[in-house]
Chain A
């Protein structure tokens, strides 16, 4: 699922820097620190691949519920909840978020200190030790959990993240189980370059072949060691162990699958490229690699870390698919008169619908031109859906059963009718790259105009 939340239209980096991207936020009076960058406003979204779909099945209720909870700020607490941050904000579609940056919590885009000061003061260890946001694709094969592998169980880890790191209320056993079920259903991207045992198959370049051989070659200084000894090709390129490779402690072996899409690398995100990673190991373990060897290893890693169709274009179709998935949770919750899950669904879907409406520029967005009628109709349709959805939530709370079913039916009817309206407005929306760029260029200009010249000298280099 695309992460929710935060239709943070803009950032406020008045006193420090112009926003590095137009969706920075953390306003003067905002919930998150000035200069925060969430970067959820990108037109390409990481593609989700589900194990349950792969075999012709469909996702069970528990998986969909977990997906919904994963994207719901209301399962977290304090600042995260206020800011509309959910699990999915950092783990976009259960992957990573390479541009996530919160001053005081990150040392570079893409890393984050879970024991920092912002989200749970009680968890603050007063040491700035940010770690990367790991992709959760294939996470069921990647125990133990946490960069230092301190949790054997994914459920325990999920619990710790919610309660300790993000000051959330104690999750119900059902919700915790659902999030685990969702995460366990998220697969790695298919990679046709790899056979079942993790060997390169099909058309393979000479360089990749040499790289594959080097990958398994014993280290000169210790013949029991090789890259493949820890990154086992037949086991999702992990060994489920923690090792000290000279980076400041014991950290678990990260998978190399999907890694092309998961930079930066190492637990703290110190390296941006495979070249740098290979050079580090060459140096640290005195591997004596030639320049060609390094290139070969990089070629091999690139083949291993690839995947089919890593991204999907954001748009009406994608949004509608997400909403349909979440709606199926709502449907079941209404049928069961489960007011807790109805409330969670209404909050989460409503947030998504409101954010969806903002993709169709309003009249006061004078950067947009054309399709005014279509945009207006799309906004109106989505706003009306928000209200119809709220009516479902109110009916479950106040009237129960039949009344709620009637409201739910009205909501579904509205949604079905809206597809054509939204599709007609899509060419005039922020899903169009040119309109998207014009909108955010205007926003950058606005924020640039808000920079005090006295602070201009303190503007740091662009974080990207």
Chain B
């Protein structure tokens, strides 16, 4: 499964067939004319308004739901594969679920911290993705039925909660900033997903997650008020994406990753003023 958004096109159909009509989500800056003019109309004066983010967040949230839906569907496939003792099938489904999850971390930890803690528990071996990963990819054992059931249950609950939640610009900026910082954590020991060896994908998906939030919710508004800051923030994201194009986590320049991740987090913090939001705190 490719970890980048390349191949998905510049515009990502967030709703797809299932949710036709809920709009599209950009993964790179190619402003939808309608969105752009709406944003411009709302914020041309420079005054911040909660309404300004309403439509972009609606679009983003629809995209977010597709990510969790994909993740949940893959988790269910994994559970089914576990049920029929299909190790390869379970591993493949685990990897698919992981991608959706890593793209969702940008909002999941912010809005659903408890569920997120269970789903992505570390280092506890009794819950979540990593406990399953250790068994499937380390031990090559498939005795993870209770763990897979719990993961599906937690993801289903998160999906339900997500449908009832109204995301805010502040929440999404907080989540993006925190994740930008986390991207810079050391991968010297193989990174977050050591057993499956997919840590580099984790980072790439995290960056895709941040980029989806930034471009769809904040870029137009920031560009209106502080074009230089918007250009810089976009450049920060591009530099990170370029850096993680290496083929192997061993080749990843850890110092540079840290510097770029912190640079992006600073850009997002600084953007808060222009965006009429509070400076994002980094609390878990």
Report yes or no: A29 in contact with B124, Cβ–Cβ below 8 A: no
- The answer for the CA separation of A4 and B133 in the assembled complex, in Å, is 29
Report yes or no: A445 in contact with B125, Cβ–Cβ below 8 A: yes
Query: Given the complex, which residues of A lie within 8 Å of B258, measured CB to CB?
Result: 347, 350-351, 354
A387 within 8 A of partner (CB):
yes
B234 within 8 A of partner (CB):
no
Separation in Å of the B78 CB from the closest CB of chain A?
17
Report yes or no: A450 in contact with B122, Cβ–Cβ below 8 A: no
- The answer for the CA separation of A381 and B196 in the assembled complex, in Å, is 32
Contacts A82-B250, A83-B188 given; indicate if A446 touches B130 (C-beta within 8 A): yes
- The answer for the CA separation of A368 and B137 in the assembled complex, in Å, is 26
Separation in Å of the B44 CB from the closest CB of chain A?
30
Report yes or no: A390 in contact with B282, Cβ–Cβ below 8 A: no
From A26, A350, A376, A448, B284 is in contact (CB under 8 Å) with A376
Q: What per-residue 1/0 map shows which CB atoms of B114-125 lie under 8 Å from chain A? A: 101110111111
Selected interface stretch from B52-60, B95-103, B237-245, B261-269: B261-269
Q: What per-residue 1/0 map shows which CB atoms of A438-452 lie under 8 Å from chain B? A: 010011011111111
Query: Given the complex, which residues of B lie within 8 Å of A453, measured CB to CB?
Result: 139, 141
Report yes or no: A384 in contact with B281, Cβ–Cβ below 8 A: yes
Contacts A31-B188, A367-B123 given; indicate if A12 touches B195 (C-beta within 8 A): yes
A363 within 8 A of partner (CB):
yes
> Which of B118, B127, B200, B255 has most chain A Cβ within 10 Å?
B255
B194 within 8 A of partner (CB):
yes
* Chain B residue with the shortest CB-CB distance to A448: B125
- The answer for the CA separation of A8 and B123 in the assembled complex, in Å, is 12
B83 within 8 A of partner (CB):
no
- Contacting B at CB under 8 A, from A357-374, are 362-367
Report yes or no: A364 in contact with B195, Cβ–Cβ below 8 A: no
B181 within 8 A of partner (CB):
yes
Query: Given the complex, which residues of B lie within 8 Å of A376, measured CB to CB?
Result: 283-284
* Chain B residue with the shortest CB-CB distance to A378: B283
- The answer for the CA separation of A451 and B137 in the assembled complex, in Å, is 9
A380 within 8 A of partner (CB):
yes
B135 within 8 A of partner (CB):
yes
Query: Given the complex, which residues of B lie within 8 Å of A28, measured CB to CB?
Result: 190, 194-195, 197
Report yes or no: A446 in contact with B131, Cβ–Cβ below 8 A: yes
- The answer for the CA separation of A452 and B134 in the assembled complex, in Å, is 10
Query: Given the complex, which residues of A lie within 8 Å of B254, measured CB to CB?
Result: 82, 84
Report yes or no: A387 in contact with B262, Cβ–Cβ below 8 A: yes
Report yes or no: A27 in contact with B194, Cβ–Cβ below 8 A: yes
A394 within 8 A of partner (CB):
yes
Report yes or no: A27 in contact with B191, Cβ–Cβ below 8 A: yes
Report yes or no: A7 in contact with B186, Cβ–Cβ below 8 A: yes
Report yes or no: A363 in contact with B117, Cβ–Cβ below 8 A: yes
From A25, A29, A347, A384, B248 is in contact (CB under 8 Å) with A29
B binding-site residues for A, Cβ under 8 Å? 113-114, 116-118, 120-125, 127, 130-131, 134-135, 137-141, 178, 181, 184-186, 188-191, 194-195, 197, 199-200, 248-250, 252-255, 258-259, 262-263, 265-266, 269, 281-284
